[in-house]
Amino acid sequence: MDIFQKCADYTLADEIKKQGVYPYFHALESRQDKEVIMEGKRRIMLGSNNYLGLTTHPEVIEAGIKAYEQYGSGCSGSRFLNGTLKMHLELEKELAEFLGKDGIVTFSTGFQTNLGIISSIVGHGDFVICDAENHASIYDGCKLSWGRMITYAHADMDALRTQLAKIPDTAGKLIVTDGVFSMGGDIAKLPEICALAKEYGARVMVDDSHALGVIGKGGRGTASYYGLEDQVDIIMGTFSKSLASLGGFMAASKSVVNFVMHNSRPYIFSASMPPANCAAALTALRIIKREPERVQRLSDLSAYARKGFIKRGIKIIESDTPIIPVYTYELENTFRKAKELYEEGVYVNPVIPPATQPGNCLLRTSYMATLTEALIDEALDIFDRVLKR
């Protein structure tokens, strides 16, 4: 059988395109901002992870340009060899201080970060225990490891306990959870997770991709939000969201950082973070430290949007984060409503299986600290028209 036959047989995307409701790969013609030009028309951006709005901050842009001029366009090698810049070390030092951890190791992308951490830490005879709604990169990191992955029903602490109880006392155990879940916007039950980890001799890793710059003291993430910094062993995060760049990091003890740096294949065999990306992330971090009010502004605007949806009778998943999903239930309805919103000037992200359960499709909206109440009202009025049409 021809291995490419599966490619020829894949027709789903083409079928959706024929219906005129294909929602992906819309081309931006402007900066990633609260309002964008997308395919020739103004759209209010309610589908970005640029939570603090720093991708257009003059200092961030200037830092990237200067790094490009000073260091060139890339490092042409891995961090393990010729690809370490002094600026990489500065970013790691300042981020470690910000998060209250002994050490940081940075990766070239967020997806690669989860691959690199889990595949190196979880070995033969070890177990990694995952929330069912963890990010795809966590699942793939587990697949690359030599250990065994076990999942538990989303946010179900009884199910987590049941799974932990099955694991031999002699086995290594790592519980991995999103801090803020990327599709639902809910926050992990970290106090209960940490308590169970202590009871069963497990370690805890939190993916804070959607929590850094969003929750916790000054945007320090999920462990800070609960006051559990000393009970979370590994904090993973990305630079592509609140830190307005590209890349990822792991914050942990010096021994764990040292081990991952010398054993993680995605780290050792990938080119390092380009200079401009590193400079942008470092500058964004300094702005967050200097202006913690941005985090509060994001929280206030998210609360404003939630109240606006509820006031208009639109069913949402309620949370305390800037991710507010709107129920659209069926696949076809989700694609059609996403298209109608797009045509009327609001960009959102449709969420369909396997990212959600069948029959529970969503329109994922997300918010930036640079939005205004007036723009949110305009967008919600469009939502109201489209969903009740």
For the stretch 6-55, pLDDT in tens is 999 999 899 999 999 999 999 999 999 999 999 999 999 999 999 999 99
Report the pLDDT value the prediction gives residue 387, as an integer from 0 to 100: 95
What does the alpha-carbon distance between residue 126 and residue 183 come to, in Å, rounded to a whole number?
A: 29
Closest C-alpha to 60, from 260, 291, 271, 357: 291
Token output for 99: 């998060």
Other beta carbons within 10 angstroms of residue 203's beta carbon come to 17
Residue-averaged pLDDT of the chain: 97
Length of the chain: 389
Cβ atoms of 328 and 322 closer than 8 Å: no
Predicted TM-score of the model (pTM): 0.96
Whether residue 135 contacts residue 182, with contact meaning beta carbons closer than 8 Å, is answered with yes
Q: Is 331 helix (H, G, I), strand (E, B) or coil?
A: helix
Quick one: tokens of 233? 């062993």
Residues 6+ apart with CB under 8 A from 183: 133, 323, 325, 351, 355, 356, 362, 364
CB atoms within 10 A of CB 126: 16
Would strands 234-238 and 41-45 be described as parallel, antiparallel, or unpaired? unpaired
302 given a catalytic annotation: no
> Of 210, 240, 272, 299, which residue is the catalytic one?
210
Q: Residues 108, 119, 120, 182: which is the catalytic one? A: 182
Mean pLDDT by 10 residues, the chain (389 residues): 95 92 94 96 98 98 98 95 96 98 97 98 98 97 97 98 97 98 96 98 98 98 98 98 98 98 96 98 98 98 98 95 97 96 98 90 98 98 95
Radius of gyration of the chain (CA): 21
182 is catalytic: yes
Write down the pLDDT at residue 365. Answer: 98
Position 355 scores a pLDDT of 85
**The pLDDT value given to residue 354:** 87
Is there a contact between 306 and 316 (Cβ–Cβ < 8 Å)? yes
Among residues 252, 329, 268, the alpha carbon closest in space to that of 83 is found at: 268
Could you give the domains of the chain?
Answer: 11-45+292-387 (3.90.1150.10), 58-290 (3.40.640.10)
d(Cα 389, Cα 380) in Å, to the nearest integer? 14
Active-site entry in 57, 88, 101, 241 = 241
At 157 the pLDDT is 98
Tell me if residue 241 is catalytic: yes
